[in-house]
Amino acid sequence: MTSKWVPLEASPDVFNEWSRSLGLPDSPLSFQDLFSLDEEFLQFVPKPVKAVLLLFPQRGKLAEARKEEEERGEGKWDGDVWYIKQTIPNACGSIGLLHALLNLPSSGEYALKQDSPLIHFKTASVPLSPLDRAKLLDKADFFEAAHTVAAQSGQSAVPQGEDVDVDTHFITFIEAENSKGEKRVVELDGGRNGPFDRGLCNDLLKDVAKIVQDKYIAQSDEINFTMLVLAGDQE
């Protein structure tokens, strides 16, 4: 029987607390709010941008449009990224964080702390299928503990896990190379069949902004969207 986790609040403070407790260094990266998709505003987001997270309403016209994309066979990915299926209810925020953090470089200034819980989990999960990674995650007590602490650190009242049902969903966008060496925008959603190729990547933030405008906001009957970036520390 899988766990049921309290959904994470879409707050940079919550995401940073969760991530730093499990292996994200105090600098030079942090999760930050993205308040606008206006190109002029995007210029002020600190560099580099390593991941963009989107929280959106997964219902109605938008849900149908996303389903039809996969039914048409669009977005097939042929590169190497770390991806996990979501089988734990209400854990889409943590799945989104894992997709952002476990696709960071393995070494250098943007890498996770060596010998951290996240590094140990990634090492154990790399040989596994996305579904078996989910099974491993469900057995990893420290993930659920970190999730609970982070959820309780938000500004909103924390609902009781078994009584929670949410209709919004987190996904993550990263830049990755496909088998041809092309830089692509890859959408990572544990609810999809696998990583989804969103096209050439020239500037991750600007490219994702256009994708969200065209493929999400324009196809939704609602305006309940929240975005975060994993980017260079703010000055």
- Catalytic residue numbers? 92, 169
How many Å apart are CA 173 and CA 153, to the nearest integer? 25
Q: Are 216 and 55 in contact (CB under 8 A)?
A: no
CA distance readout (Å), 226 to 13, 130, 147 = 14, 26, 19
DSSP state letter for 76: B
- Burial of 92 by CB count in 10 Å (0-12 exposed, 13-18 middle, 19+ buried)? buried
Amino acid at 8: L
Burial track 102-136 (b if 16+ CB lie within 10 A, e otherwise): bbbeeeeebbbeeebbbbebbeebeeeebeebbee
Amino acid at 166: V
- Burial of 94 by CB count in 10 Å (0-12 exposed, 13-18 middle, 19+ buried)? buried
Q: Is 128 helix (H, G, I), strand (E, B) or coil?
A: coil
